[in-house]
Structure 1
Amino acid sequence: MGRAEPEAMIGEATVHSCNEDEQRTGLFTMLEEQRDLPFTTAVLGRHWVG
Structure 2
Amino acid sequence: MSRTNDDPRALRSRAAALVSATELLVDGGPEKVTHAAVAGRAGIGRATVYRH
TM bracket (short chain): 0.3 to 0.5
Alignment TM-score, normalising by the size of structure 2: 0.32
Alignment TM-score, normalising by the size of structure 1: 0.33
